[in-house]
Structure 1
């Protein structure tokens, strides 16, 4: 979200700077007025369109919510924020949110705001919205900036409210540094002490479902000593549906590999569903030869929060002791197929060395049939890194072919010859 502005914007930015950098003796009663009011407006709009004085926010923890109706990730996060807001209000917490719209027209703004239980800067006040976006360096949406009621210091501005709500929910309130440090300590302790039992069992359930409900119940205890994948996905998720057949194939290959090597620990996968109804769950899980948590089980949400799963499909790999090995299982499957097993650092280091050796024989540049610019061979150390392959739409990392002009990037295995000359690498 880039901002442009002239003299009018400068005046409003000056008001914002007063609030953030002003004299420490200024009373907090002027802080939110300086930030959120303008010379012609001292109010915000409620979802019903009534006016609420900006000064009513004093003493509150305030979230500045930059969002737009036209962007699906915003609509998805809006549900997360709404749930947290309603819970905090029910507990009489001093939390408030102010919507700063990037909608394209007044009708879209009104429709979107009507679904929110909080306040908003009027859609017509373009200058205030631009100034706030520029002042807080908002580069993407959704974005939730958290301001504390009793400090003007820049370091008290929390910029990653979206991530924190996904990660901790209402437990992050009041979003102070002390509270977040406490949550991080608690989270580390949970990860240090995690086992298959405390991750997957509950007080009234110590089993998982077979790949189809008629196959009965499988004890969670039977997983101990195996490498385990937690597969977060849903039938409505197109990337998940596309990745599932590949994962099924790799699952069987790993099982075959293990059967040929006596003494090698076992491997299993557990489906952690985000399906919207039981019929979808039954239909999708019937395609999977592995285990599943029951549909709608409370552990599903707990696991997503514990592992900070924000996008699906996602494959978390746990070691035989129940500890996390990697959160990048999907990328590793795409990159190394069954050879990624058991996904440990030692195994990956070996595969990286092997890939580096193979890369020495790859062309330094390629003409790819799916792109109109020449592609350059890159690695993590030469401008590469995690990416989504523009040819197969799957994740990748390590060596890749990259268009230096426009960022088009593909797995080395996905390059389809377009003719012409290639330059062999060193």
Structure 2
């Protein structure tokens, strides 16, 4: 593969100057061809590949048609512009997977960095092969004047999501340092230092200490969020009611909205439907919390225990799987629920006829063809035991099966 890439970018021997430069330049072997020794800028100007030599270079693999790329790119633009205010040794090169030239121009028009020309399909393919790009957005970080493969960071997007500008200069040593700092922050984490902001005092953090807290990262513009929020409201009320009926005064559950809404009006409208608390729209702690908990997609429900430590970042999944029974979301509770499901499954029929489906459904589990799935009846996540159609992959929760006589099935 490397030999093929070298052949694709081998310069013409008739141009002595270009040949000499090409043989000693690391980035030219990646970003230039025998017919092109430049990149393009957002203004359309040609920028010599030689101009990025000696810099830290991020190769951004993305496309206009994929929404997560658009979201990540906006985040990256903010970080790029902040870094460029004080340093000049960092550059990004866009490697497009756009479907056509219009889409490329539309997307690249929002970027302040360089790009491989859209027409150079071979170079883009070679870069995708070299760095094994399997999904986008992908940010590959190349260090200057270092040809060692183990110095290349292929998870630059994750670094940006988690650490923002703090990830600079994007070396593995810096990553190790940041990871150590993150471990220390989580070990010393309390609800007070998570939610307290010296600029405001109207979020009653003191009233939340000692409770199980759900930090709900969500936004009105997000369709999955809008679908999940009514379910979460229902579960919230059921948990609060159950705790009240049990008279467990030492226990309580609360949720705090961490909004990703795009304007105050959207925030007010969305939050107005919720029975819990929220950080103010645009609060400075919101981005810090998203990075602290490595929130890469919404909706996301992070559960904080009464001691202020993180119980799980997968509260949404637990709500979908176990509803109000998931409370207090601890490993011990999840283990008990899994054992309960295993016991209940022993009494389930192995084969059922389900109303509205033309094939028989087989009872499956993780060990015999089952696994995580989305129930075709209630559209909620499932795992472990399920009734599955071996003909077409149709799957439902055992609780969602509507058993009928085979002769009456439609």
TM over 0.5, shorter chain? yes
Question: Partner residue of 2:160?
Answer: 165
Question: Partner residue of 1:261?
Answer: 246
SS of alignment partner, residue 25 of structure 2: helix
SS of alignment partner, residue 146 of structure 1: strand
Question: Partner residue of 2:219?
Answer: 234
Cα separation, partners in 2 of 1:403 and 1:12, compared to 1, 3 Å:
farther
SS of alignment partner, residue 47 of structure 1: coil
Gapped regions of structure 2 (runs ≥ 5): 11-20
CA contact (8 A) 1:60 1:95 kept: yes
CA contact (8 A) 1:66 1:144 kept: yes
Matched, 1:12 2:5: yes
Question: Partner residue of 1:200?
Answer: 195
Cα deviation for residue 330 of structure 1 reads: 0.8
Question: Partner residue of 2:274?
Answer: 288
Cα deviation for residue 54 of structure 1 reads: 1.0
Cα separation, partners in 2 of 1:409 and 1:16, compared to 1, 3 Å:
farther
1:389 and 1:41 mapped to 2: Cα distance? Answer: 52
Cα deviation for residue 221 of structure 1 reads: 0.8
1:71 and 1:272 mapped to 2: Cα distance? Answer: 25
Cα deviation for residue 206 of structure 1 reads: 3.4
CA contact (8 A) 1:15 1:35 kept: no
1:183 and 1:16 mapped to 2: Cα distance? Answer: 37
Matched, 1:60 2:55: yes
Q: What are the Cα deviations for residues 384-414 of structure 1, in whole angstroms up to 9, with x where unaligned? A: 5444445444333333345667766544434
Cα deviation for residue 13 of structure 1 reads: 5.3
Cα deviation for residue 230 of structure 1 reads: 0.7
Question: Partner residue of 2:328?
Answer: 342
Matched, 1:190 2:175: no
Cα separation, partners in 2 of 1:386 and 1:152, compared to 1, 3 Å:
farther
SS of alignment partner, residue 344 of structure 2: helix
Which structure 2 residues correspond to residues 269-284 of structure 1 after superposition, within 5 A? 269-284=255-270
CA contact (8 A) 1:29 1:58 kept: no
Cα deviation for residue 418 of structure 1 reads: 8.0
Aligned alpha-carbon RMSD (Å) = 2.7
Cα deviation for residue 238 of structure 1 reads: 1.5
SS of alignment partner, residue 240 of structure 1: helix
CA contact (8 A) 1:16 1:135 kept: no
The one of 27, 35, 41 equivalent to 1:40 is 35
Q: What are the Cα deviations for residues 24-74 of structure 1, in whole angstroms up to 9, with x where unaligned? A: xx9995111111111111111111111111121111111111111111111
1:90 and 1:325 mapped to 2: Cα distance? Answer: 39
Q: What are the Cα deviations for residues 182-209 of structure 1, in whole angstroms up to 9, with x where unaligned? A: 100111111111111111111132342x
Cα separation, partners in 2 of 1:416 and 1:222, compared to 1, 3 Å:
same
Cα separation, partners in 2 of 1:370 and 1:256, compared to 1, 3 Å:
same
CA contact (8 A) 2:9 2:33 kept: no
1:368 and 1:162 mapped to 2: Cα distance? Answer: 44
Question: Partner residue of 2:384?
Answer: 398
Cα separation, partners in 2 of 1:299 and 1:401, compared to 1, 3 Å:
farther
Question: Partner residue of 2:210?
Answer: 225
Gapped regions of structure 1 (runs ≥ 5): 18-25, 209-218, 422-426
Q: What are the Cα deviations for residues 302-339 of structure 1, in whole angstroms up to 9, with x where unaligned? A: 11111111111111111001100011111111111111
2:267 and 2:235 mapped to 1: Cα distance? Answer: 22
CA contact (8 A) 2:28 2:50 kept: yes
1:404 and 1:38 mapped to 2: Cα distance? Answer: 51
Question: Partner residue of 2:74?
Answer: 79
